[in-house]
Chains A and B, each alone.
Chain A
């Protein structure tokens, strides 16, 4: 028997029947791809035998646009990279730019930077876990539980910066403005209430039988491959590598806080999910200490009015919620960067998508993609 309608398919014989691989284009408008991302999948029955990620649908050449603007004008533009985590994007860019000229960041600003970026980490991880469970088929409920908590943090962001998501709060040498009166107390309240939500979330999800059977042993990423492929963030730590830039580089004032770095043993989707659940607890630890010790004072250092650094090259990186977010800047003595490069963590984390999906079922490919945690604003730039 032959398949008359599909002349280009490679037919193979199995059990005396002609059979062929099925090519499916998942996305770009597939709800599980978290934006406009496409996977070209080749299936043998339900098993993935080949997978090619296709992206660029959201490409706007961020780096080229940034070369045409002054250093500071790029700050609000970094918000649009990973639009869930504008605060950490701001910090990474500020950290790189602060290496270009000598600016002292005041104490209070350093503390507020830590507070803001740990709150951002909470936002990112609650959302990610919600979306991940959504991909598993639990439509809505866990995601909306996460969104309920995220809302409280977004209110804090709005009060401090004026915007919920596109915060544009950091400046070279400090922050745009101080937080309003009573903000710290409200932040402390959010931080104090958060663990009870995590308990609820954990009870609901961590030992749920369906989640266990859908994620354990699915999409295993071996340790050596993770290191070689430049995987960073929770995904790297799930594979058992203890590498957290908050400890390694101790940028800002991270060396002053006591916190642990959770990491996994197996490197499967469950570990990637659990590492994030545990990381939220550690973020709360940091937040508690930071909100306790935060001093009074100015939030802006003596930054030069005109930002015109001498010709040089710098690379600044931070531990973003998704991994190592880096900015590579080349200054040429003008007020615009000669070269402005973003090292996008979720783009590079996609390198191993094919390796993790091969041999898995097509429904698991969705789960694996969900466990990587991508945002297309950053992948495509």
Chain B
């Protein structure tokens, strides 16, 4: 997806990985602010404009993979891919009118944490707050990390793929089906 060359970034920062399928650079959170500042200040890349910031939630899943075992025969094994949350940044250059270069920070689903790039690009400010709100990713170094679209007392992160809404407002005196199931789990507040 990236249209700008990614090789210079990888040469400068060996920790950064190139993900071919998504066309994105995967940056470890510890290095992210440094890489971001470097991209921002770079002479030819000059990525002065961070357009879009968003999160993507991947649940733990099983993947089937074909491998060749020691006897030289093909075999299908099932591997478990751990769940993760990607924070995706689409970077453009307003000076050169080029782009995009896609940057990703990857974090686990429990205690999700990423480095805030708001000190480099102010445009991340509200968008990272939105990711914190809806995905539950904590951004270290963000100047004002609060919920933004949901209210402060809200619990949970609705954009997570396993989010289940409490069904307190659809209570019926004779619950059936789905409502009854939720009631048994204690999710219905009568």
Contacts and interface: CB of A to CB of B under 8 A. Distances in A.
Given A55-B149, A313-B22, A315-B1, A230 B158 contact: no
Contacts of A339: 54, 56
Contacts of B54: 328, 339, 341, 343
Contacts of B56: 330, 338-339
Contacts of A314: 1
A59 B150 contact: yes
A326 B52 contact: yes
Contact of B122 (A55, A229, A243, A317): A229
B70 to A, nearest CB: 31
Interface stretch (A19-27, A173-181, A296-304, A347-355): A347-355
Contacts of A313: 1, 22-24, 102
B51 A343 contact: yes
A343 B23 CA distance: 19
A330 B52 CA distance: 14
A347 B149 CA distance: 11
Nearest to B159: A64
Interface string B130-171: 000010000000000000111100000011000000000000
A225 B122 CA distance: 8
Given A55-B148, A59-B149, A64-B159, A343 B52 contact: yes
Contacts, number: 84
Contacts of B48: 227-228
Q: How large is the interface on A (under 10, 10 to 19, 20 to 34, 35 or more residues)?
A: 35 or more
B150 to A, nearest CB: 6
A132 to B, nearest CB: 23
Contacts of B52: 315, 326, 328, 341, 343
Contacts of B158: 61, 64
Contact of B123 (A229, A312, A326, A338): A229
B127 interface: yes
Nearest to B122: A229
Interface of B: 1, 21-24, 48-52, 54, 56, 88, 90, 94, 97, 100, 102, 121-123, 125-127, 134, 148-151, 158-159
30 contacts: A55-B149, A56-B149, A61-B134, A63-B159, A227-B94, A228-B48, A228-B121, A228-B123, A229-B121, A229-B125, A230-B50, A232-B51, A243-B97, A311-B21, A313-B22, A315-B1, A315-B52, A315-B100, A317-B51, A326-B52, A328-B52, A328-B54, A338-B56, A341-B52, A341-B54, A343-B90, A348-B123, A348-B126, A351-B126, A380-B149
